[in-house]
Amino acid sequence: MNDFIITQDGSNTLYSKKYNQHFHDVDTGAIKESLTKHVIPALEIKKDSKTLRILDICFGIGYNTFSTIYYAKKNNLNIKFEFYSPEFDEELIKSLSTFSFPKEFDDIKEIIQEIALNQKYKDDNLEIIVHIGDAREYIKNLNNIDIVYQDAFSAEVNKELWTVEYFKDIYNACNQDAVLTTYSVSTPIRLSLYEAGFFIYEIKPVKKKQTLAFKHLKEIDAKYIDMELKKTRNKEARALYDNK
Ligand SMILES: C[S@@+](CC[C@H](N)C(=O)[O-])C[C@H]1O[C@@H](n2cnc3c(N)ncnc32)[C@H](O)[C@@H]1O
């Protein structure tokens, strides 16, 4: 169901024949994309936290979870992590025992094996729960989330993970100070987030722009995107809804 692909930075990803999309941006590279678009922007904001509850949408090959652990160890961040990550594809998770990950993950091989075998891992400072099932149902039961890595396939093929109704459940699962990271910069997606209650910011960590979203206005090093102004300038743009 998935083809094996080597990306620009030498790390490996997959091409999904079910969704007709790569799991990562091949030109950026799998681990580089994970670090620059999700992990570093989120942990820069949250680096002084004692514990972080992270919702990783969706687990896939696990780069966002594994890169977070790698980055936190490398930078001596003294944070306890809890990861919650839904994923439809149980066979994919099992196959991670033989997936060829980048050398950056060499120190966490045991964790990867444990995830592949049991879909969970726990030690004193780290807990990972991979939930085999539909993200839409799973997120309804979460609370106090500090970081959301919104890294589904694009809305053309994975619409259920980009709608206003979906983002409302994400909003409710998040604590007041939560940050959501996503590669998407499209106006319909930003409108979906905005209609669900989020404020929108833009950063450009590498070549491409990307989106951060928060429950409140923030004093941060990012460009605030005024969605009311966007709506007046782009009258055609619409948020995505489940049944439209
Ligand atoms: C773009 S990939 C995730 C990439 C991931 N961050 C990684 O590092 O591999 C999207 C994943 O979402 C899963 N998925 C798509 N829709 C889902 C849903 N509604 N519930 C659970 N998993 C879903 C797919 O099976 C796929 O593995």
- Going from the first residue of the chain to its last (244 residues), give the mean pLDDT of each consecutive group of 10, the final group possibly shorter: 91 96 94 97 97 98 98 97 98 97 98 98 98 98 98 98 98 98 97 98 92 96 97 95 91
Q: CA–CA separation, 205 vs 147, rounded Å?
A: 18
* Domain harbouring 76, CATH code: 3.40.50.150
- At 165, list the tokens: 């109704």
- Nearest alpha carbon, ligand 1 atom 10: 152
User: Which atom of ligand 1 is the closest one to the Cα of 30?
Assistant: 8
In the chain the first and final C-alpha atoms are separated, in Å, by: 29
Q: CA–CA separation, 85 vs 82, rounded Å?
A: 10
- 13 located within any domain: no
- 85 located within any domain: yes
User: In which domain, by residue range, is 91 found?
Assistant: 29-233
pLDDT of the residue at 40? 97
Q: CA–CA separation, 167 vs 172, rounded Å?
A: 9
pLDDT of the residue at 206? 82
pTM exceeds 0.85: yes
Residue pair 184/151 in contact (Cβ under 8 Å)? The answer is no
Distance 58 CA to ligand 1 centre (A): 4
- 157 located within any domain: yes
- 2 located within any domain: no
- 149 located within any domain: yes
User: Which atom of ligand 1 is the closest one to the Cα of 160?
Assistant: 19
Residue 29 near ligand 1, beta carbon < 6 Å:
no
Q: In what order do the strands lie in the sheet with 210-214?
A: 120-122, 126-132, 80-87, 51-57, 145-150, 174-182, 210-214, 199-203, 223-225
pLDDT of the residue at 205? 87
pLDDT of the residue at 80? 98
- 238 located within any domain: no
User: Which atom of ligand 1 is the closest one to the Cα of 38?
Assistant: 6
**Domain tally, the chain:** 1
Q: CA–CA separation, 127 vs 241, rounded Å?
A: 33
Pocket probe mutation, ligand 1, options 4, 87, 112, max atoms within 8 Å of Cβ: 87
pLDDT of the residue at 207? 82
- 6 located within any domain: no
pLDDT of the residue at 229? 96
pLDDT of the residue at 174? 98
